[in-house]
Structure 1
Amino acid sequence: MERPVPHVGNGVRHKFQVLDRINVAIVDDHEIVRAGLKQALEREADIAIVGEARTGNEAVHVAETLRPHVMLLDVKLEDVEGPEVCRRVLAASPGTAVVMLTSYCQDNIILKSLNAGAKGYLIKDVELAEVKRTIRAVYRGHSVLDPKVAPRVIANATNGKPGANLSERDVAIIRYVAGGLTNKEIGGLVHLSAHTIKDRLEKIAAVFDVRSRAEIVAEAFRAGLI
């Protein structure tokens, strides 16, 4: 988006200042869903809808050709299931942050999606404001889980599994990561510095033998910790 800027410090006037936009692609087999999301999201000054797709194969093509910053991806498509589409999209465009936006909340689908590399998982009845917040969060490198999904506990014990000995504070930090909070925001809630939160997340990642925040959340979910 462009907005007028009166002048800069050296007295030279410039007509416009260009603001960065988050390029978003929408993948859903229902046209009405795509149209509704596009109309709502394009009202945001920092979000631009650069592509749409109806099938998994089309989604991969969009990723290859347009390289969107964020892709909103339905789990159930007519040709390829969402988690596999996510994997192919990231192979084609590693810089794209994939957010699953779906009506399905079964444990196995959630885990498959996160293990495929999804940065977010939202249920379709979520408030539009949360969709916008999630787009901005994953664009900044964070991971987000729908509040309806994050507290779900996989029905198996954690004894003997990685993460079973994590402290209550570490588990709380993981939950906040799942909610899309930054290290600074988490630190404010648990009374630690952002640097300390970063260190603790690195140690938690080592416990799970993973590298990213999304993988930490996926493994914690698998272990029944969140």
Structure 2
Amino acid sequence: MTGADAMKVPGRPIRVLLADDHPVVREGLAAMLGAEPDLDVVGQADSGPRAEALCAELLPDIVLMDLRMPGGGVVESIGRMTAAGLPCRVVVLTTYETDGDILRAVEAGAAGYLLKDVARAELAGAVRAAARGETVLAPSVAARLVDSLRARPERPRLSERETAVLRLVAEGCTNAEIGRRLFIGESTVKTHLLRAFAKLDVTDRTAAVTSAMRYGIL
């Protein structure tokens, strides 16, 4: 069952998980959302990994998640929850609205990005909209996201073989190992790498993998 299929069950409240490292913030959000008859706060987490664990255990519809918590890796947690196919959608609720933060969260799979100065009614409405499968963005965040995407350089076009080689590089494979995995000679692997380097405008393997990830190629 997909997240969208499992998300909206007529007749029951929308299940919400709160993820924020400040207890006072969690308690305030729980009180705000708990006052809405169709919203049910089913759990609270104080870190990205804890949110992942509770998401798998409680299967909430929506995770309201701060972007920066102790231990870091919140964006990675969003990515793992999204990739796991869990029946939840992550909505970032944070005080940060830098272009990099917004892009990283959206690219990781966040279904929304709200700021903590949002009014109670707007927050509840955003939770409902996200549960319906909509994307929810604070107006200022939406504008910054559009501007950032417009300013991004054009994505390089790597061939399927070049992408396959880089994917194995990202896994830590040597040229010889890549050759064996793809049934090509080591010299051919080097040729594909050099072509990928040129297209990505980099000079080494690490930079190539990093750049390919930034462009969403890997």
TM-score (norm 1): 0.60
Identity among equivalent pairs (%): 38
The one of 12, 37, 41 equivalent to 2:33 is 41
Could you list the per-position Cα deviations for residues 141-184 of structure 1 after superposition, in whole angstroms to 9, with x for gaps in the alignment?
0001101211122296478679xxxxxxxxxxxxxxxxxxxxxx
Match of 2:212 in 1: none
Counterpart of 2:44 in structure 1: which amino acid? E
The one of 81, 95, 120 equivalent to 2:87 is 95
Cα 1:20–1:80 shift into 2, 3 Å: same
Match of 2:119 in 1: 127
**CA apart distance, 1:129:** 1.3
Match of 1:53 in 2: 45
| 2:110 maps to 1:118 | yes
Gaps in structure 1 of 5+ consecutive residues:
1-17, 163-221
Contact kept? 2:63, 2:88, Cα under 8 Å: yes
Could you list the per-position Cα deviations for residues 93-135 of structure 1 after superposition, in whole angstroms to 9, with x for gaps in the alignment?
5321100000010111101100110000001111121111110
Counterpart of 2:131 in structure 1: which amino acid? Y
- Secondary structure at the counterpart of residue 151 of structure 1: helix
Runs of 4+ in structure 1 off by over 3 angstroms are 155-162
Higher helix share: 2
Whole-angstrom CA distance in 2 between matches of 1:158 and 1:41: 37
- Secondary structure at the counterpart of residue 154 of structure 1: helix
Cα 1:156–1:47 shift into 2, 3 Å: closer
Contact kept? 2:56, 2:86, Cα under 8 Å: no
Whole-angstrom CA distance in 2 between matches of 1:89 and 1:108: 20
Match of 2:21 in 1: 29
Gaps in structure 2 of 5+ consecutive residues:
1-9, 157-214
Cα 1:103–1:158 shift into 2, 3 Å: closer
Contact kept? 1:63, 1:93, Cα under 8 Å: no
Number of residue pairs matched by the alignment: 146
- Secondary structure at the counterpart of residue 141 of structure 2: coil
Match of 2:148 in 1: 154
Match of 1:106 in 2: 98
The one of 68, 76, 80 equivalent to 1:84 is 76
TM-score (norm 2): 0.62
